[in-house]
Structure formats: structure tokens, C-alpha cells
Amino acid sequence: MKRRFLRQATTLGAVTLAFAPLLVGQQVTAPEPRPLAMATPMHAGAQPADNSSNERKALTLQQALALAKQNSVQFQAALTDSRVAQQDSRQALASLLPTAVFNTSAIYTQSNGPALGVKFIANNAVHEYISQGNVHEALDAATVAAYRRAAALAAVSKARADIAARGLVVTVVQNYFAVSAAEQKLEAAKRTAEEGQKFLQLTQDLEKGGEAAHSDVIKAELQSQDRKRQLQETQLALLNARLNLAILVFPDFNDNFTVVDDLHAPVALPTRDEFEVQAARDNPEIRAALSTVKAADQEVYAARAGYLPTVTLDYFYGIDSTHYAVNSTLPPPDNTRYSNLGSAATAALTWELWNWGTTQSRITQAELRRTQTKRELSLAQRTLLSEMRSLYAEAETSLEELSGLQRSAELASDSLRLTTLRYKNGEATVLEVVDSQTSFALANSGYQDGAVRYRVALANLQTLTGVLTTP
């Protein structure tokens, strides 16, 4: 009964595995003319099932980084903020320069009667026409401080855009090499699945010859089923990794690509001295904090400028006459012709003498904010020192472990081959074979994960130095 039940379960499992791709395809295939490549997970060397006529795009890491910068909403938002801040600085600079405007108007005023002038003494005549240009300049210390503050804030936004760009590099590197690692894991999963099936066939043949117990066949069959499930999970992991990278890189959904940069290509770790010099020289977090302090300093100066006077200068040229004309003529019998064009200049000094302590309150506010920005600068400097040690130690450790992980994967591969041969010769037990298969799968997976960890560690170093280490 037990053997019959196992045969039925095995048959049912085989049927389920045979139809699983079709069932998955029915669930996720989209109705669009170009079906999504989600029905059958593929590795890098495979061709699209529904797009076999199209050549898959070879995507390098540098190409992926360039595309991600173009299509990342978060990075483009930071870049937009930086450009907007630059325009604010430009506008603040323009406010320091003289302005020129042209205005034209007509004033109609009630008269006191013929030859008695106007009722409103503010006006010059019953009919007054003004058409003139005005050059205006205001001399104000607060405006100068506002320009310097806007320039400092523009530097802050630029540094934050740099921070966003470096963070995007880490994300792209992680997703890019995750695809490569998933492809390597898929190859290993295929091998273990094949080894599991071969080992099942070997135990069955040995059982027929009376050289192996039926318990060995059961154990081998359980192991084979487990390896098949692991293969399916690895295929799914590869599919998800490809989709994560596609969403990050392409503006529209496009999974017709293959990664070409070798995950296991040797990449040198920069020396600690070189890394520390680069990190201290061009760290965007420190630049942002320093620029924030400068902006806070200018805010204090602008608040203190409230105690100073403001000088405004105006120069006018045009007409301010009873006739809308360049020239006018005196009434008879004089009939003298004269020009209405003329100029005028005014200067004003405004000094606020009392405002109930508002200026001092603004100074206190600005000084409080400046003190806080200095605290944040100190924190950024301490954080930089901490991250320099931590991230470099992470990269150094992952590099040192990588060679050991590679050696473990090689030894596990040899162990699997040799243990299978020993079992075939009756020198090893079925548990030893199963253990060697498990060790091979774990060692290979650890090797791929270790390689991705080292690549991500190098990308994290780039967040401090601005230099991405590539093979």
C-alpha cells in the first residue's frame, strides 16, 4: 500500500510539474498583442518564448545607470529641485541690479474753473499726460544677504541631487547584479535537479539488482522532488530580479534584455588612504551641511539688516505734460513752441525707528536656526567618519570572504561528483549523497550572494567618494 501510494503521489507530482508552466501562463499572460514574458521564467542565455524574432538588448552596467538616471522619478525630482533653486539664486541676484520700466498714463482732474487750476492739489493740471521710463535701484543690506542665502540654498539642493544620484547607483548596482546572481543560481539549480533525477534513477537501478534498499529509493525520490521545487523557486526569483531591474531602468515595460557585465570579474578595492582622501574631499552630505550653515549665516545678516536704512534711487525721462505730445505750443499771441521731454531724479532714505521688537525677534529666530544647522553639520561630520570606517570594513570583509566562498563552491561541486561515484560503488550512503547535493546548492548560492554583496559594498563606497569602481 505504501509503495502504491508513493507511486500515485509521484505520478500526480509529475503531472502537476508537467502542466505547471501552462497553468502559470494562463494566469499571467496579458491580452495585449505583445504578451509579457512571465509565463516561463528565463535565464540570460534563453530567448523569449513569444518574441523569438527580436534580438535581446545587451545591457551593460553603465548603460543601466544612465537609463536609470533618465527614468528615476525620485532622482529627477531632486534634480528639478536643484534647478529650481538655481533659478531662485538668479532671481535674487537680479533684485540687486537696477530695473528699467516704461509707463504711460493720463490723469483727468476736476477744475476750479477757467484759469483757476485744479481742485486736487496733488495734480498739476486738469489734463495731465505721463509717458516716461523709470530706472529704479534700491540699496538694501537685507537684499544682499537674501541673494547670498539663495546661492547657499542652491548649493544645498545641488548637493542633495548628488546624494540622490549616488543612492540611485547603489540601487541599480544591487538590482543589476542580482539578475546575474539569479542566473548563476538557476544554472546551479538545474544541475542539482538533474543530479537528483540521475541519483533517483541510479537508486532504482540498484534496487532492481538487489544492491540498494527501497528506503534509498524513497529518500532519492524525496530529494528529487525537493530539487525540482527549488528549481521552480529559482526561476521565479530570476523573473522577479529581471522585473525589478526593468522597472528601474526602462521608461516602459521592457524585459527584452540581458545583463552582460560579469558578476565575478575581478574588481580591485581602493586603498584605505585613497578612499579616505576622496571621501573627505567630495562628500555631498558634508557639502550640503556646510551650505546650510552658510544659508543660516546669511539669514542672520538679513535679520540684522532690519536696523539699517534703505536707500532708493529713481531716474525718470519722458513727458509729464498737459498734452500727449513730444512738443507743445503756447497759446496766442506767444505761439512759442517748446519740448515736453524732460527728466527728473529722486532719492529716498527710509529708516525704521520702532517696530515693537520685531527686528530683534527675527534676529533671535535666525540665530536659533543657525545654531541648529551647526549641530547638524557636526553630526554629518561624525557620521561621515563612522561611515568611512564601516563601509570600508564591509567591502574589505566581503572581499576577503569571497575567495573562501568561491573555494567552498568548487569543493562542494567536487564533493557531489565524488560522493555520487562512491555511492554507485557501494562506498557511501544515500544520506551522504543527499547531504552533498544540499551542500552544493548552499555553497553555490552563498558564492553568488557573496559576489553581489561585494559589488554593493563597492557601490556604497561610491556614496562617499563619488567614484564607482568598475572592472
CATH of the domain at 221: 1.20.1600.10
Query: Can you give the pLDDT at residue 199?
Result: 83
**pLDDT, mean of residues 98-127:** 83
Q: Is the pLDDT of residue 11 over 80?
A: no
Q: How far apart are CA 305 and CA 147, in angstroms?
A: 13
Number of domains the chain contains = 1
What value does the mean pLDDT of the chain take? 84
Query: Can you give the pLDDT at residue 470?
Result: 64
CA angle 37, 43, 47 (to 5 degrees): 60
Total-model pTM: 0.74
Query: Can you give the pLDDT at residue 202?
Result: 86
Query: Can you give the pLDDT at residue 49?
Result: 39
**pLDDT, mean of residues 219-223:** 87
Residue 252 lies in a domain: yes
State the distance between the two ends of the chain, measured CA to CA, in whole angstroms.
Answer: 60
Strand partners, 139: 311
* Of the candidate ranges 114-123, 296-305, 330-339, the one whose mean pLDDT is the lowest: 114-123
Residue 266 lies in a domain: yes
**pLDDT, mean of residues 179-198:** 90
> Is residue 299 within 8 Å of 369, Cβ to Cβ?
yes
* Of the candidate ranges 114-128, 207-221, 331-345, the one whose mean pLDDT is the lowest: 114-128
**pLDDT, mean of residues 282-299:** 92
Residue 428 lies in a domain: yes
Q: Which amino acid is at 460?
A: N
Query: Can you give the pLDDT at residue 471?
Result: 60
Residue 140 lies in a domain: no
Task: Note the pLDDT tens digit of each residue in 413-431.
Answer: 999 889 888 888 888 888 8
Q: Which amino acid is at 180?
A: S
Q: Give the model's confidence band at 134: pLDDT under 50 very low, under 70 low, under 90 confident, else very high.
A: very high
Task: Note the pLDDT tens digit of each residue in 22-68.
Answer: 333 333 333 333 333 333 333 333 334 344 445 778 899 999 999 99
Residue-by-residue DSSP string for 53-119: TSPPEEE-HHHHHHHHHHH-HHHHHHHHHHHHHHHHHHHHHHTTS-EEEEEEEEEE--BSSTTS-BS
Residue 81 lies in a domain: no
Residue 108 lies in a domain: no
**pLDDT, mean of residues 141-153:** 92
Q: Is the pLDDT of residue 13 over 90?
A: no
Residue 147 lies in a domain: no
Domain coverage including residue 258? 168-308+376-471
Task: Note the pLDDT tens digit of each residue in 342-352.
Answer: 999 999 999 98
> Is residue 111 within 8 Å of 119, Cβ to Cβ?
yes
> Is residue 40 within 8 Å of 22, Cβ to Cβ?
no
Q: Give the model's confidence band at 79: pLDDT under 50 very low, under 70 low, under 90 confident, else very high.
A: very high
Q: How far apart are CA 224 and CA 235, in angstroms?
A: 17
Residue 264 lies in a domain: yes
Q: Is the pLDDT of residue 117 over 70?
A: yes
